[in-house]
Amino acid sequence: MIDGVDLDDELDPLVLDALASSLAPTPAPASSLRARLLQRMSGRDRFLPFLDRLIALFDLSEDETRRHVDTMVDGGASVDDGEGGWEELVPGCTFLDFDGGPALGDAHAGLIRLQPGAVFPAHRHVGEERVLMLQGRVRDEHGNEYRAGDLIVMADGTEHEITVVGDQEAIYAAVVVAMEFTGGDDGAEAL
């Protein structure tokens, strides 16, 4: 009870209607606003919320990090830095491998794109793996699900497989020393 009013009592619907009708109508947003928002969400700026985390993960300058990230928006075009461009790793999976900054030591930096329904095959980590999800969702064989913004850290010697969940392409940034594919008919294959 506050000021003699029992809070469990219902408010009179007529009073609520009167209050609602006394409010000024909210103007509709400009039609161009929706178009600008959608363009920004699908263009170069869509990964900006992750830029600081990517700079720290890769140990690169903002300009270098942006150049690599921009290749995802440019349809997988190669970065002109003498390193290779986007390559197919397994069906439904492409990656861009590049050198990170000195704090990475022997580890490789990279960006990975997995198509909807794709599976990144079972593999064992040689050294720690750090993954920052940028888009989409993936699920590991234990049922753990990861989405944009999640940081996944896998210790040296751990093994897992991931599958893209839903209809959206999964994109993530990774730092890894090496990995060995453990599934399939050929046994382990190092990468």
Helix, strand, coil % (nearest 5) of the chain? Answer: 25, 35, 35
- Tens digits of per-residue pLDDT, 6-63? 655 566 777 778 877 888 887 877 877 766 666 666 667 788 899 999 999 999 999 9
pTM of this prediction? 0.73
CA distance 145 to 166: 11
CATH 2.60.120.10 fits 50-190, yes or no: yes
Parse the chain into domains and list their residue ranges: 50-190
- CB proximity list for 5: less than 8 A, separation 6 or greater: none
Each residue of 99-122: pLDDT tens digit?
A: 999 999 999 999 999 999 999 999
